[in-house]
Amino acid sequence: MQRPASLNSLSLEVVAAKQEQMPILANLLELYAHDFSEFHPVELGEDGRYCYPALPLYWSEAGRFPFLLRIDSKLAGFVLVKRGSEFSDDLAVLDVVEFFVLRAYRKRGVGTLAAHEVWKRMPGPWQVRVMESNVAALSFWTKAISRFAGDSVRACHVHKDGARWSVFSFNSKML
């Protein structure tokens, strides 16, 4: 299922990734891990690549949802979602596990529009967790979630694995 969403003169598509597109996601995860290594210790392997061992689970385990983002049919990023969260006992909660927009498309509304599209497609309780040391991401998610959920968004602060996280909780309603 894909639905274009207007972004000025650009067209955003949020596309459910197929298993044969796993190598594309793996390549994008390399860029994401490189960016993320600024805020979190992510180890580079001896082969010069980062490793994301959970990626195959998005096609073998129920409750995992991989999406590719495209702008005017060109790759622009990805979103990985799963049911259940490391920060909640609620197995029904939908968790934004990983979210990445290529630098060329950042600060243009692409990320906000992509997040809103995913939340609209998948109604229910949501959770977004952000490392507070990632100041740009914290600002982005605070604004994106507030624009989507309004006053119904809740944020709590959690210490986990030596990092301080903001965890946002909100509900997405059926379209």
Q: Going from the N-terminus, what domains does the chain have, and what CATH number goes with each?
A: 5-172 (3.40.630.30)
pLDDT at 8 over 90: no
Would you say 131 and 165 are in contact if contact means Cβ atoms under 8 Å apart?
yes
Mean pLDDT of the chain: 89
Digit-coded pLDDT (tens) for 101-129:
999 998 899 999 999 999 999 999 999 99
Distance of alpha carbon 58 from the chain centroid? 14
Digit-coded pLDDT (tens) for 26-63:
999 999 888 877 777 778 778 888 888 999 999 999 99
Quote the CA–CA distance of 136 and 152 in Å, as a whole number: 22
Quote the CA–CA distance of 149 and 171 in Å, as a whole number: 7
Would you say 68 and 25 are in contact if contact means Cβ atoms under 8 Å apart?
yes
Quote the CA–CA distance of 64 and 96 in Å, as a whole number: 10
How are the residues of the chain apportioned to helix, strand and coil, as percentages rounded to the nearest 5?
30, 35, 35
Tracing tokens 């994106």 back to the chain, one arrives at 144
Would you say 128 and 80 are in contact if contact means Cβ atoms under 8 Å apart?
no
CA quadruple 96, 102, 105, 106: dihedral positive or negative? positive
Q: What is the DSSP string of 128-170?
A: EEEETT-HHHHHHHHHHHHHHHGGG-EEEEEEETTEEEEEEEE
The residue with greater pLDDT, 174 or 5, is 174
* Report field, pTM of the whole predicted structure over 0.75: yes
